[in-house]
Structure 1
């Protein structure tokens, strides 16, 4: 399915909310269309270029998002809150005449395949790291939900940890359990350097 693509420096992973200020005409029109249709769009992380201005190149794995709230901001701009739903692979990105990027999107089943509830003492080390991260004031503004599954734990850590985008792209394609294993190994490697 061909969907509108919103390039950003950071994409909200599944279950994570992100507030946005919309001011470019192409995105105002896109949000209006998507709200009317009751549909979301895709957020892709910028590989090269900028958020504002002509089309940026983006990474191939992106996030399908829903618009969960919108409002007119005090400065007159449109404010929306989006929430990540699913990981998608972009194919054949193209620019529309108004500069809006669109792409054929294929939802990756691996992103949630085999998701399991978190057992009482499973992944304790990763839970401790997440609990420390959510204490930071800038993270508290994200209003992250409590984690109950392996996928939720992995998405929140992947969103918050200072990883390179190539690392994040690799981890986005993994199953929830494999993603947690990768995160545990990555954190172990980083703390023992």
Structure 2
């Protein structure tokens, strides 16, 4: 992906973090058009938390930081609604948005830098333990995360941001944080397991 790009947005009441999977039900014409266009071009789309508005109807106001999503699988349910399974890839900053005639929001974005490869620090070791315990309790967790990276600060942080029962506003703050160690410090405060 280039350093700046134009990306169709799918604003939601949930935050997608890098590496996380998300199921979507797509029924509005603007998003069906978006999925077709992404399929033709072999591209993804952006998911951003809704700051104001609703998931359907009038275009909502998206957060300024979101995550690009790629379609991993799709199906049509018994109700005729398209079901997608997407996975988060890179984070982006929205520079500006425009709304197409069909109501689809398209954003000019700058890509966030990839996470540095930083080892899990001793002060965050407890979060690695918490993540291991969570994954042990998830049915199929070993298949969902076949190559765990418990020594990698960014991977541990994103998996906890994905799996912990956090408020979406807190998950958005984690998404906006560029430093993997600071992200883990924020998680420690959020789950209140320090000392």
TM-score, scaled relative to structure 2? 0.83
1:33 is paired with a residue whose SS is: helix
* Aligned equivalent of 1:130: 131
C-alpha contact 2:15 2:168 (8 A) present in aligned 1: no
* Aligned equivalent of 1:54: 58
C-alpha contact 1:115 1:176 (8 A) present in aligned 2: no
Residue-by-residue CA offset, 1:95-148 (whole Å, 9 max, x unaligned): 111000111111111x51x223558x78431123223434257x96x9355531
* Aligned equivalent of 2:92: 88
Which residue, out of 53, 67, 74, partners 1:70? Answer: 74
CA distance in 1, matches of 2:154, 2:66: 16
* Aligned equivalent of 2:43: 39
* Aligned equivalent of 1:154: 157
Compared CA separation, residues 43 and 61, structure 1 to 2 (3 A): same
- Using the TM superposition, name which of 70-79 and 89-98 deviates more: 70-79
C-alpha contact 2:15 2:171 (8 A) present in aligned 1: no
Compared CA separation, residues 144 and 53, structure 1 to 2 (3 A): farther
Compared CA separation, residues 170 and 11, structure 1 to 2 (3 A): closer
* Count of equivalent residues: 185
* Aligned equivalent of 1:116: 118
Unaligned runs of 5+ in 1: none
Which residue, out of 22, 25, 31, partners 1:21? Answer: 25
Offset at residue 177 of structure 1 (A): 2.4
RMSD over equivalenced CA pairs, Å: 2.5
C-alpha contact 1:16 1:144 (8 A) present in aligned 2: no
C-alpha contact 2:46 2:67 (8 A) present in aligned 1: yes
2:63 is paired with a residue whose SS is: strand
Unaligned runs of 5+ in 2: none
Kindly report structure 1 stretches of 4+ aligned residues shifted beyond 4 Å: none
1:42 is paired with a residue whose SS is: strand
